[in-house]
A and B are shown apart, each in its own frame.
Chain A
Amino acid sequence: MLNFLIRRLFTAAASLLGISIVLFAVLALAPGDLFSELITNPAIPPDVIESLRKQFGLDEPIHIRYLRWLAAMLQGDWGYSYTSRIGVDQLILQRVPTTLFIVGLAQVLALAIALPVGVYAAMRPYSLFDRLASLLAFIGFSLPTFFTGLLFILLFSVYLDWLPFIYRTNITATGWQWAWEMFRQSVMPITVIGLALGASWTRYVRSAVLDVIRLDYVTTARSKGLREHVVIIKHVVRNALIPVVTMVALQIPAIFGGAIITEQMFRIPGIGSLLISSLLANDTPVIMAVTFVFAGLVILFNLIADLLYGWLDPRISYR
């Protein structure tokens, strides 16, 4: 077990290094200029832009810039954002809580839909409920979030005028008033992400439960005279959830990526919108850091999923 962990950590470090090289090279080779807004402005002399380039070290060759970045990163220095001269780690920390709040609640919502609906549909396969659930699930994951988001804004903000579509981080109210305001502004983005996620998870839970529910030990449990809900909860769902848990863990980093569009649409100041605005501004240190964090999350959750799997299913052993 320990051996396995060490080996995995070693490969993780190697993958991260590889990822960082590819990322850095792609960003350096991609077109775009930090100073593009200044270039067309006749009031700004070209020599100012030139001297800034020097100050930021942008005039050096790619490999030197990469090594400098790597050396700083290894010492825990994430660098500065070119556009706001604030530490990148600070900038990311400012954005993380909001993303966690929205994405976390969206996942809870998705699970709250997927688990009961999926299990119930699997208990009565091809019944009316199952067909309806399948239909809705297919609709749910074929509609992209930018479409459902717009639809929600149009319905709830424009026509009904119930909910705001701009997410604010400076709500001054306290107590219940604060909670109510938070609910009003976050319910739309959470539902948008949650529904898309819940739709695919429902299908997954359904098929996992279907696999288990036909096994002999379930028939044994039933013939022992256990009541149906005990059979389902204690014997079926517990076993069926093993692959589901792995999948949820594996999808967590992907959700951060998926939230980019939703964040942009509702002006949620999360990691995703930070990535978009730094991409538009060609703010390399921030882009590097955010994508690197994403990469790190993917690797971390892969590892967690592997470990969880073994813990949940003792038949798996690590070698």
Chain B
Amino acid sequence: MQEDELRRLVDATRCSRISRRAFVQRMVAAGISAPIAGMILAHNGVAFAQPINAYKPTKAGGGGTLKVLQWQGPTLLNPHLSSGSKDWHASNVFYEPLAGWDMEGNLVPILAEVVPSLENGGVAKDLTSVTWKLKKNVKWHDGTPFTADDCVFNWEYASNPATSAYSISAYRNTRVEKLDPYTVRISFEKPTPFWADAFVGSRGMIIPKHLFEAYQGAKAREAPNNLKPVGTGPYIFVEFKPGDLLLGKINPSYHVVNRPHFDAIEIKGGGDAVSAARAVLQTGDYDFVYNMQVEEAILKRLEAAGRGKVEVVPSGHIEHIQVNFADPWTEVDGERASPARKHPILGDKAVRQALNLLLDRETLQKVVYGRDATATANFVNAPPRYVSKKNSWEFNIEKASALLDGAGWKRGADGIREKDGKRMKFVFQTAANSLRQKTQAVFKQACEKVGISLELKSVDSSVFFSSDPGNPDTFGHFYADLQMYTSPVTQPDPALFMQQFLPEQVSHKGNKWQNRNVTRWVSKDFEEAFKAAESEVDPVKRTALLIKLNDLVIEDVVVIPVIVRRILAGMKKNLVAPMSPWDTYVWDLSGWYLEA
């Protein structure tokens, strides 16, 4: 989408000629994620939509116990120190951020009175600071009032490198100060177009100063309250057995009237995905399960019992094949795949383009993945209705064959293509997983038809996803020609996600293969566009730049996107539970209720 076209649309929305929802939908269709679209409008003086309040109960409580299954049971209840999504979900039951993200990417105020915008003066014109107004009637579960001091403390706590908080990137390089007891200002070192990171969403949950003050820095992991949360959320902590059980009871003085609907919450951990889906969909023993990774055929059978429903939450988690731009088969200074040595065959763009044409995404989506995935041609994928204007995928063996012929790759005596004595034989590795193995097989079949020999390799996922510098089979070493895995997208802003293609991020021996650019692709254009996006104040221009980043990666076939994941939530037939791919599954827990 061109810049001037974007501006026309924004104007039309401001003058109410088209609805806000329509605007967001058109943005999404053009490849701009909903949160960004929302921020474009906010910047241009169109306030975030007031979410349609569908919450029906007229009093708090009375809903009984909400029984949730989370097959990876939570182990730690401090959102800053939690190591994975299993803990962020559980922490969010008790702790809340200033605002959360809804399904369409709108910011929804939770502990904040309103969402800051240019119009209400919350966001500075030069985008170097944002001011949040806090709700005044909020109390921690122990009765202490929630104030700006708590926000300042969370910033100090998380940005301290000694704390080693997982939320650190949201808070470092910022300064948070208290303007009055219910106002905080976040100042950034440079104009920050995506300001809604600190205190927002799963990394923005706020912990109480009075209980964690004594446990900052290196002592952070010793705080007794890491296992006994005292938050502001709709449920008060009752009991926690790591990996097994988490219990909460209704917070009678919750800061939103008539909420929450349930009298208690129970989160049970352990077991496997299929039996969790069964307990919700088939036997109805439990009310809710998130992220059911269950094969389509089994899911359909479970659903047939009619006790539960499956809700699809589109996410940006992208399963993709990475192309190695360095030569993995020659050792240079004690390392293979050294960035100093280009890949002799994959360095040829025609070969990469041919590979992209040989991936039968349609079959993969229909036969292998089912409802929990959508085939895609893009690396950055927005919410559900995403259809890229620029990039599309096709499965075309003839075209791939013609491309290779044109580039001078001729079939040898055994049918395998070669050129200048280089034979087209690749090693394609992935983390062991039945779906990925099937994908590998489908890809291999197509490649063999055009004379590319593919050796399939699957590495145990505990090895593949480890950062062990001594193990050559990790994804970071990438000692193969091609590899496939899923990159999770946890943030609505793609800038951080696209960092993995920057030259400074190239993974090699010098950084013990810890950096994120594992394809070793280096592009001046990309670097320039990235740097430009970082300092761009105008959100429309910045959005155009961010889309360009995706297009550069796709155009040069650095990665071959396979499918974008959709998360399946199973819930009781009459349970209403607003989901969001940008936040935890309980981001709006106080709004969950049972329909009569």
Q: Do A and B bind each other?
A: yes
| Residue positions of A touching B, CB distance < 8 A | 31-52, 55, 81, 83-86, 91, 94, 153, 157-158, 161, 164-166, 168-170, 264-267, 269, 273-274, 277, 281-282
State whether B466 touches A169 (Cβ < 8 A). Answer: no
Residue in contact with A42 in the complex, picked from B242, B471, B487, CB distance below 8 Å = B487
Interface size class of B (residues with CB under 8 A): 35 or more
Could you mark each residue 166-178 of chain B with 1 if its beta carbon is under 8 Å from any beta carbon of chain A, else 0? 1011000000000
State whether A33 touches B499 (Cβ < 8 A). Answer: no
| Neighbouring A residues of B279 by C-beta, 8 Å | 165-166
State whether B169 touches A44 (Cβ < 8 A). Answer: yes
Q: Which A residue sits closest to B69, measured CB to CB?
A: A166
Given contacts A33-B465, A38-B83, contact A170 B247 (CB under 8 A): yes
| Neighbouring A residues of B565 by C-beta, 8 Å | none
What are 8 A-B interface contacts by the 8 Å CB criterion? A33-B467, A51-B161, A85-B81, A85-B227, A170-B245, A264-B271, A265-B272, A267-B269
Stretch of B340-348, B490-498, B572-580, B585-593 lying at the A interface:
B490-498
Could you mark each residue 470-497 of chain B with 1 if its beta carbon is under 8 Å from any beta carbon of chain A, else 0? 0101011000000001111011000011
State whether A83 touches B241 (Cβ < 8 A). Answer: no
In the assembled complex, how far is the CB of residue B183 from the closest CB belonging to chain A, in whole angstroms?
A: 27
How far is A265 from B273 in the complex, measured between Cα atoms in Å?
Answer: 11
| Neighbouring A residues of B467 by C-beta, 8 Å | 33, 35-36, 39, 49
State whether B245 touches A42 (Cβ < 8 A). Answer: no
In the assembled complex, how far is the CB of residue A91 from the closest CB belonging to chain B, in whole angstroms?
A: 7
State whether B465 touches A277 (Cβ < 8 A). Answer: no
State whether B245 touches A169 (Cβ < 8 A). Answer: yes
| B514 proximal to A (CB < 8 A) | yes
| Neighbouring A residues of B84 by C-beta, 8 Å | 37-38
Residue in contact with B488 in the complex, picked from A40, A49, A51, A85, CB distance below 8 Å = A40
Residue in contact with A44 in the complex, picked from B166, B241, B282, CB distance below 8 Å = B166
Given contacts A31-B460, A83-B75, contact A165 B275 (CB under 8 A): yes
State whether A83 touches B168 (Cβ < 8 A). Answer: no
| Neighbouring A residues of B282 by C-beta, 8 Å | 158
How far is A265 from B278 in the complex, measured between Cα atoms in Å?
Answer: 12
Residue in contact with B75 in the complex, picked from A50, A84, A158, CB distance below 8 Å = A84
| B270 proximal to A (CB < 8 A) | yes
Residue in contact with A33 in the complex, picked from B278, B466, B491, CB distance below 8 Å = B466
State whether A40 touches B270 (Cβ < 8 A). Answer: no
In the assembled complex, how far is the CB of residue B581 from the closest CB belonging to chain A, in whole angstroms?
A: 14
| Neighbouring B residues of A48 by C-beta, 8 Å | 164-166, 168
Residue in contact with B169 in the complex, picked from A32, A45, A164, CB distance below 8 Å = A45
Closest 10 CB pairs of A and B: A33-B466, A269-B244, A32-B462, A31-B463, A84-B75, A84-B242, A36-B465, A267-B271, A83-B75, A37-B84
State whether A55 touches B164 (Cβ < 8 A). Answer: yes
| Neighbouring A residues of B165 by C-beta, 8 Å | 48
| Neighbouring B residues of A47 by C-beta, 8 Å | 161
| Neighbouring A residues of B283 by C-beta, 8 Å | 157-158, 161, 164-165
Q: Which B residue sits closest to A277, measured CB to CB?
A: B243
Given contacts A33-B468, A165-B275, A265-B275, contact A43 B496 (CB under 8 A): yes
| Neighbouring A residues of B244 by C-beta, 8 Å | 94, 169, 269, 273
State whether A32 touches B463 (Cβ < 8 A). Answer: yes
Given contacts A40-B465, A265-B275, contact A46 B514 (CB under 8 A): yes
| Neighbouring A residues of B566 by C-beta, 8 Å | none
| Neighbouring A residues of B162 by C-beta, 8 Å | 51
Q: Which A residue sits closest to B284, measured CB to CB?
A: A161
| Neighbouring A residues of B491 by C-beta, 8 Å | 43
Q: Which A residue sits closest to B475, measured CB to CB?
A: A40
| Neighbouring A residues of B461 by C-beta, 8 Å | 36
Could you mark each residue 218-229 of chain B with 1 if its beta carbon is under 8 Å from any beta carbon of chain A, else 0? 100110001100
Residue in contact with A81 in the complex, picked from B75, B247, B468, CB distance below 8 Å = B75
Could you mark each residue 54-76 of chain B with 1 if its beta carbon is under 8 Å from any beta carbon of chain A, else 0? 00000000000000010001011
In the assembled complex, how far is the CB of residue A98 from the closest CB belonging to chain B, in whole angstroms?
A: 9
State whether B83 touches A83 (Cβ < 8 A). Answer: yes
Of residues 504 through 533 on chain B, the ones whose CB sits less than 8 Å from some CB of chain A are 511, 514-516
Given contacts A35-B83, A281-B75, contact A166 B164 (CB under 8 A): no
Given contacts A161-B283, A277-B243, contact A41 B465 (CB under 8 A): no
Query: Knowing that A55-B218, A84-B227 are A-B contacts, what are 16 other residue pairs whose CB atoms are under 8 Å apart, sorted by A's residue number?
Result: A31-B462, A32-B463, A38-B166, A45-B168, A46-B511, A46-B516, A48-B164, A50-B514, A84-B76, A86-B242, A94-B244, A165-B275, A170-B239, A265-B272, A265-B275, A267-B270
Q: Which A residue sits closest to B286, measured CB to CB?
A: A166
| B500 proximal to A (CB < 8 A) | yes
Residue in contact with A91 in the complex, picked from B242, B270, B487, B490, CB distance below 8 Å = B242
Of the listed residues B239, B278, B461, B515, the one surrounded by the most CB atoms of chain A closer than 10 A to its CB is B278
| Neighbouring A residues of B75 by C-beta, 8 Å | 81, 83-84, 281
| Neighbouring B residues of A153 by C-beta, 8 Å | 275
Q: Which A residue sits closest to B71, measured CB to CB?
A: A267
Q: Which A residue sits closest to B244, measured CB to CB?
A: A269
State whether B226 touches A85 (Cβ < 8 A). Answer: yes
How far is A31 from B247 in the complex, measured between Cα atoms in Å?
Answer: 35
State whether B496 touches A42 (Cβ < 8 A). Answer: yes
State whether A274 touches B466 (Cβ < 8 A). Answer: no
In the assembled complex, how far is the CB of residue B42 from the closest CB belonging to chain A, in whole angstroms?
A: 22
| Neighbouring B residues of A265 by C-beta, 8 Å | 271-272, 275
| Neighbouring A residues of B471 by C-beta, 8 Å | 31
State whether B243 touches A52 (Cβ < 8 A). Answer: no
How far is A83 from B74 in the complex, measured between Cα atoms in Å?
Answer: 9
| B551 proximal to A (CB < 8 A) | no
How far is A86 from B78 in the complex, measured between Cα atoms in Å?
Answer: 13
